[in-house]
Each structure stands twice: as structure tokens, then as C-alpha cells.
Chain A
């Protein structure tokens, strides 16, 4: 037990981000933290709480299926993301070479690593789960003797999905004799991610038989293949829901037992297979091309301008590092899943049809909604992929490189921003174009959406880059660690959302008070964005470079 505790403490400390020490930056960080809490955490929690509250009220009889619906959804997402975290923590983390020679049983190492991952990954999840529970509580109430158990249950709900990930990881990696090289294993992690994404997509598609309008009726009647499947995949969630619905301590007992079973199986497998997998992963690896290849390659070297060389280096690092590829590039593919989920649930609904028709006949309100949708998705996607907000962080301990090469900081900053702009823009425009096709948007309107989204991508990218100069996370030993628990990424999203909200409010006020024609408003939007961009780029170059110089 002592060893376990010591390990948990060590792992937790080593993953943490160093906080700024000087007063000014500390204040800046505190303010950003408050903004982040207000504009990500609070809205998310309120929304989830309200959803849970609303459905529970509609269901009546204390039925917890509305809350359970949210819990299932979160479990699904936490598996898709958790898998990679677990894989990385267990098999690629920089501390492994130091742990292996110590006389500690694999079971303890894995338990400690698992606990650390749970503590660091589940905070946001638990907040959302608690909101869902609170929503449920206000809708029907929970009997007093159940309250502590409900709370314990909420805190431990993320354990089972994470244990799932652990079991899958240990099983897959026990075949490392076949994979051998770390580089292959890292590529495998991308394949697993895509596989899980598709699996999630499949489960989400089971929602097809739910109609938003009659959602509660269907839940009541108990006929939903989504629920059916998820209850089997996540029995812990099921028992938790039963505990609430039937106010039953027995169900809680089952909940505890099944959880213990998950952890037991996981630790048992780990004890048997973990070290085998880790040791099997030998060298980083690399291909054994014949000597002539090297000779020819040296002869064929291409000469680039300094900034082109720098640009290529940025892209190579992003695309070749699996952790970066996954979290900065592949993650953009998550948005279709969300969009698909909404589409599947809504496409036949009356609201959607009504909206589609009103947009087609030029209803101003509907056009407004589409403009806001484009603005919102663009902001979220660009900030969430964290390409810009990790641009300095990604340099890690080699950040000195940026400073000793004779390439002006301005150039380096523009290139780094451009990487984010280009990659984000590609994905954003895919969605914008799909949206335009789905709504059969006119040519000028489509052009407008594209221009607006591009301008926003530029803004958010420079913003993210600037935020990362304030206190980049430069000390990390494996690359996923650079992105995990990195507040700059979180702040970028919070800021982006705050700005998007303010922007939308200003526009809405303009529209409702002046009743000006939409096309004038469109021009105003573009002009505003242009001004904002000019300002943001100036700030990023001036203050950002000053921050970099002082690092």
C-alpha cells in the first residue's frame, strides 16, 4: 500500500504543469482560469443538469433513464479518448525505463498508473456527472439514505470505462512480440483510436430509432436499441440507473460488485501480461534500408529557403508524432461524429424540417442560426485541435532551438500560426461545404460562410499561439504528456467561446435594434473580423515574442 501511494504521488507530480512564478503572469493565469471556468465548465454543467432535469421530469415516476442516457454518452466518449491516454501512460511514458528495474510487482505499478490517469482525466467528467445527478435530484428527489451512495456512485462512474480501456490495452499489447517496435505500436494506437471511433459511431447510430420529439415516450416504453446495447456494454451504468429509479440499495451493491469485478479482471491481466508487453516493446525502431539509400539521399538533398525548411519541420513533427497526430489532426474527425449524432436524431424531426424549409425560403432567423452555427463550429474546432495553443509547448526541452537559430521570431510565429490555420481551415471548410450542400445554400452565401470561417480560424490560431507563449509546458518526457493537463489549450477554448459569445451577442443586438438588412450585417461581420485579426496578430507578435524572449 505504501509503495502504491508513493507511486501515485510520483506519477501525479511528474505529469503536472508548472505554474508561472512571476506576479503578472500569475494574475493573467488566474483571470484565464476564471474565464475558463465560467465559459466552459459552468455552461456545460448547466446544460447537462438542465437536460437531466427536463427529461426526468417528463419521464416521471423517478425514472432515471434521462440521467442514464447522459451517463452512457459520457462513458462512450471517455472510452474513445481514454484508450489513448491509458496506452500512453502504460506503455510509452518516459518513466517506464526507471520503473522497470525496481522490485515492484506489475500489479502495483499498473494500479498506481491507473489511479493517476483516473485522477487527472476524470475531473471534467465527474463535474458533468454530478450536474446530471443534481438535475435528477431537483426533478424527483433522492431519498436521504441513498444520497451518499448516489454521490459515491457518481464519483466512481468513470472507473469502469477506464478499466475497459486498461483491459483492452493490456490484451492488445501482450502481443507486442509481433509488434516489437515502439514506432509500430504508436501507429497501432492510431488504428485503435479510429476503430473505437467507428464503434462509437455505430452505437450512436442506434439512436436512429429515437425521435427527439417523442424521446421521453420511447424511453418510457423502454424500446431503444441504444439503451439496450449500452446497458450491456456498461453494466455499471445500468446498475447505477437502477439504484436511482428503484431507490434500491441492492442495485448499489451490484454496482460495487461489478466495478470490483472490472478492476479485478484488469489487475489480474496486468499482473500476468503487463511486463511482458512493456519489455516486448524494445527499440524505437526504424527501417533497415540498405546503405545505398543513404548515399542516394545525400546526393539528392533539396535546398529550401529557411522559412520553408522551418515550415516543413513543423509539419513533419506534427504528422509523424502519433500523440500529436491523434490529438491535433485526427481529433478533427470527431466533429462528424457529433454532427452525425445530431443528424441521426433530428433529421426526421419536425423542427429540422421546419428549419430547412424556413432557411430555403429566406427566413432571416434561420439564416441567423446558420451564420452562428458556422461561427461556433469554426471557433470550437480550431481551438479544440490545440495546434496553435501547443505550438511552443510542442518544442519541449528543445525550445532553445527557436532562439539560437538566425530566423526572426516574427517569421517563426507566422509559420507556427500558419500550420494551425491551414490544417484547421481544411477541416472547417469540409464542414462548411457539407453544410452548404445539405442546406442547398446559394453561391454568395456559401462564399460568405467560407470567408467568415477562414477569418475566424486566423483569429483563433494567433490567439492560441499567443496564449501558449505566456507559460508553455516545456517539461514533458512523452509527447502526449505535452498536451494532457495543458491549461493553455483549455484557456484557448474558453477564450474562443467567450469571444464567440460576445461576438454573437453584439451582432444580435445590432440586428434586433437596427433591423438592418442581413447583407449589410454580413459586411459588418467581415469588417469586424478583419479588424479583430489585425489586432490579434499585432498582440501575438509584440507580446508573444516578448514572452518568448523572457522564457
Chain B
């Protein structure tokens, strides 16, 4: 469960990147976090994971408050950041092992998990190579594996589909569905509507750091008199307020 309550964040005293945003991701739910570039998605997710401190508001991950009990909250989170160019000097396997070590995964679980995930995403054969030699998509896959190798309860995925090939994107979507069906929570950001349409139980739409809409897609469509999603989205982005 993620509970994001009245959170605000201002950069350099000027840019209000997130402005009094509230929403929750309930157990068993996939929530799409939708907004154009620069709307505050990454900033929100960084606050959920402890990378940034919120100026105001409270954020709860599972049972824990990320500000008050950061270590316990972080243990529950699997986070994919928006930058896959990380740890390029490590081999893929070393990176996955690092993540598994840090989250304290026992040997029996780890080996099997790495093998299964790596095979599903088609990166098993390159695990022994330094990630500097990976393509963008391969790096993104490693980020996905690194975030999921400890089987966290709460997934916070910042534009996870970027750069993935269709098969891997499909695998990831399936994994998200399975994870939610086990009663856990998935939040993922995107600016691509089709992805959200097929996958999400609910969506949160933000623009200029303000929440415009929270609810199911059906609710959204009915409110807008049955236009197509794309039309609705463009209309929302072009008009002040709703």
C-alpha cells in the first residue's frame, strides 16, 4: 500500500514541482501515474523512495512512514529510477547480486530468481559482461531485474517501459499483474496512454505538479462524454482546471 497525502515539493524556492497531491495505491492494485514531461511524476516517486524529502505532507509505504522509519519502508520498496545508466562498471550479475545482498536475499532464493528473471527478459547470456557494453534496453532490463530481485511488496516504477522491446514489455506487464493479484501494490509512471489503458486498475493524472484526476478509466471516459482516451487527455492538458 502506498499512501501519498497532501505532499508538496518546491525546488530552489521557485519551481513548485509537486503541489498538494494526494492519492493512494491500495493492496492488489496497479495504478498508472500519468502526466506530460515535467509534470512532477519523477519528483513524486523520488519522495516515495526517500531520495527527496517532501516539504509538506506524509508518505506511507505499507505500515511505515518513509520519513520517520526510512529503513523499514525502503526494505519494502522495489524502485526503478528514470535513469538506466547506472553501475556501468559492474557486470549484470554483479549488479543483481549487489541488490540481492543489500536486501538480504538468501542464496537458495537468489540463484533461481536471477536465472528465471534473466531468462524471461532475454539477458541471461550477457550477465557476465560489464553493463557499459549493454544497449539502452538491456540496461533498462537490468534495472527492472535489480528492483524486483528481492521480491518487494511495493513496486514504484518510473517509466519502466522506456526502451524495452515488445516481448520484455509484455513480460513486465504480466509480472505487474501477477504481483497485484497477490495483493501487493504497483505504481508506475508513464506518458503513454495505451500502456495505461490496458493495464491499470486506476489512474492518477497530474499536470504542473497538481492532481487533475484520480479514478478508474471508465469514470474518466464517462465524465468526458465518451470521447476517446487520447482526446480526453489532450483536452485535460490544454484546459485550465476541470
Q: Which residues of A contact B (CB under 8 A)?
A: 21, 183, 283-287, 289, 291, 293-294, 297-299, 301-306, 308-310, 312-313, 316-317, 320-321, 397-398, 400-401, 403-408, 549-550
Known: A285-B133, A303-B106. A317 touches B101 (CB 8 A): no
Which residues does chain A contribute within 8 Å of B170, judged by CB atoms?
none
Most buried by B among A297, A301, A320: A301
Min CB distance B231 to A, Å, is 36
The reply on B63 being an interface residue by CB < 8 A is: no
Which residues does chain B contribute within 8 Å of A320, judged by CB atoms?
89, 130
Complexed CA–CA distance, A306 and B46 (Å): 22
Min CB distance A180 to B, Å, is 12
A-B contact pairs, 5 of them (CB 8 A): A284-B88, A298-B111, A301-B107, A313-B87, A398-B83
The reply on B24 being an interface residue by CB < 8 A is: no
Min CB distance B150 to A, Å, is 10
Known: A303-B110, A321-B89. A404 touches B130 (CB 8 A): no
Which residues does chain B contribute within 8 Å of A313, judged by CB atoms?
87, 90, 94, 98
Complexed CA–CA distance, A299 and B97 (Å): 12
Min CB distance A19 to B, Å, is 13
Which residues does chain B contribute within 8 Å of A408, judged by CB atoms?
71
Min CB distance B34 to A, Å, is 22
Q: Out of A183, A403, A405, which one reaches B130, CB within 8 Å?
A: A183
Q: A298-B124, A404-B50, A406-B75 are in contact. List 13 more A-B contacts (CB 8 A).
A: A183-B132, A289-B128, A297-B127, A298-B93, A306-B102, A309-B101, A309-B102, A313-B94, A317-B87, A398-B81, A398-B83, A404-B77, A407-B71
Contact B85 A397 (CB under 8 A): yes
Min CB distance B109 to A, Å, is 10
Contact B124 A294 (CB under 8 A): yes
Contact A403 B50 (CB under 8 A): yes
Known: A21-B12, A408-B71. A303 touches B51 (CB 8 A): no
Which residues does chain A contribute within 8 Å of B46, judged by CB atoms?
400
Most buried by B among A297, A316, A406, A408: A406
Complexed CA–CA distance, A310 and B94 (Å): 11
The reply on B104 being an interface residue by CB < 8 A is: yes
Which A-B residue pairs are the 6 nearest by beta carbons?
A309-B101, A286-B133, A286-B129, A406-B74, A284-B132, A398-B86
Complexed CA–CA distance, A407 and B74 (Å): 9
Contact B74 A316 (CB under 8 A): no
Contact B111 A305 (CB under 8 A): no
Chain A residue nearest in CB terms to B135: A283
The reply on B240 being an interface residue by CB < 8 A is: no
Complexed CA–CA distance, A405 and B104 (Å): 11
Which residues does chain A contribute within 8 Å of B79, judged by CB atoms?
404
Which residues does chain B contribute within 8 Å of A306, judged by CB atoms?
101-104
Contact B114 A549 (CB under 8 A): no
Which residues does chain B contribute within 8 Å of A312, judged by CB atoms?
98
Complexed CA–CA distance, A183 and B70 (Å): 38
Which residues does chain A contribute within 8 Å of B129, judged by CB atoms?
286-287, 289
The reply on B22 being an interface residue by CB < 8 A is: no
Which residues does chain A contribute within 8 Å of B8, judged by CB atoms?
none
Known: A303-B107, A313-B87, A400-B51. A294 touches B102 (CB 8 A): no
Contact A294 B126 (CB under 8 A): yes
Complexed CA–CA distance, A317 and B98 (Å): 13
Contact B102 A400 (CB under 8 A): no
Complexed CA–CA distance, A312 and B91 (Å): 13
The reply on B190 being an interface residue by CB < 8 A is: no
Min CB distance A194 to B, Å, is 21
The reply on B194 being an interface residue by CB < 8 A is: no
Complexed CA–CA distance, A389 and B169 (Å): 41
Contact B97 A400 (CB under 8 A): no
The reply on B44 being an interface residue by CB < 8 A is: no
The reply on B185 being an interface residue by CB < 8 A is: no
Which residues does chain A contribute within 8 Å of B75, judged by CB atoms?
406
The reply on B115 being an interface residue by CB < 8 A is: yes
Which residues does chain B contribute within 8 Å of A291, judged by CB atoms?
125
Known: A303-B106, A406-B71. A316 touches B89 (CB 8 A): yes
Contact B89 A301 (CB under 8 A): no
Which residues does chain B contribute within 8 Å of A305, judged by CB atoms?
101
List CB contacts (< 8 Å) of B114-147 with chain A: 114-115, 118, 124-130, 132-133
The reply on B53 being an interface residue by CB < 8 A is: yes
The reply on B49 being an interface residue by CB < 8 A is: yes
Contact B93 A294 (CB under 8 A): yes
Complexed CA–CA distance, A397 and B84 (Å): 10
Contact B90 A316 (CB under 8 A): yes
Min CB distance A306 to B, Å, is 5
Min CB distance A23 to B, Å, is 11
Chain B residue nearest in CB terms to A550: B53
Which residues does chain A contribute within 8 Å of B94, judged by CB atoms?
313, 316
Most buried by B among A183, A298, A299, A312: A298
Min CB distance A289 to B, Å, is 6
Chain B residue nearest in CB terms to A285: B133
Which residues does chain A contribute within 8 Å of B71, judged by CB atoms?
406-408
Which residues does chain A contribute within 8 Å of B114, judged by CB atoms?
298, 301
Contact B98 A309 (CB under 8 A): yes
List CB contacts (< 8 Å) of B51-95 with chain A: 51, 53, 70-72, 74-75, 77, 79, 81, 83, 85-90, 93-94
Complexed CA–CA distance, A287 and B126 (Å): 10
Contact B130 A407 (CB under 8 A): no
Chain B residue nearest in CB terms to A401: B86
Contact A405 B132 (CB under 8 A): no
Known: A313-B98, A398-B83, A404-B79. A297 touches B104 (CB 8 A): no
Complexed CA–CA distance, A297 and B107 (Å): 13
Known: A301-B111, A309-B97. A406 touches B102 (CB 8 A): yes
Complexed CA–CA distance, A408 and B71 (Å): 7
Complexed CA–CA distance, A477 and B118 (Å): 28
Contact A308 B81 (CB under 8 A): no
Which residues does chain A contribute within 8 Å of B81, judged by CB atoms?
398, 400, 404
Which residues does chain B contribute within 8 Å of A309, judged by CB atoms?
97-98, 101-102
